[in-house]
Amino acid sequence: MKLVDIYRVKTFVVPEHVDQVVQGILAIDELKVGNYKNVMWQSKDGVEQFVPSEEAVPTEGAAGEKTKVTSLRLEFSIPRDESLLTKVIEEGIYPNHPWDEPVVQVSEEREARK
């Protein structure tokens, strides 16, 4: 076993846009772990809530109104390479995500590999 430095990346997406976001991410990195590629996790049926400001350009809801939508959590890991992380977020997630301000969470972790 060896420990590998990685970034764990999570984002939340409404179901009808999941495939588009996944394809955007995979166009940047094949998400390879050992002998497998396209390794990604999806958690279903969470509820996301927000209140758009007057400056927002909401896909759902209206300025000043609380909105709740069903969303999925996408989670994956990539090697701890800041330029790859930037590219995955700025070219893979942002342009394929329906929200004008998508939540993308990143943590530095270590992953056990065979």
Mean pLDDT, rounded, for 86-107: 96
16: which DSSP letter? G
Contacts of 66 (CB under 8 A, 6+ apart): 49, 50, 51
How many CB atoms neighbour CB 22 within 10 A?
A: 20
Q: How far apart are CA 89 and CA 78, in angstroms?
A: 12
Between the alpha carbon of residue 5 and those of residues 71, 80, 97, the distances in Å are 29, 6, 27
| The pLDDT of residue 5 is above 90 | yes
The CATH architecture of the domain made up of 2-113 is 2-Layer Sandwich (3.30)
Which conformational region is residue 25 in: left (phi greater than 0), alpha (psi within -120 to 50 degrees), or beta?
alpha
Residue 92 clears pLDDT 90, i.e. is over it: yes
Q: Which residues pair with 106 in a beta bridge?
A: 9
pTM above 0.75, yes or no: yes
pLDDT at 114: 87
Show Cβ contacts of residue 68 under 8 Å, excluding neighbours closer than 6 positions. 47, 48, 49
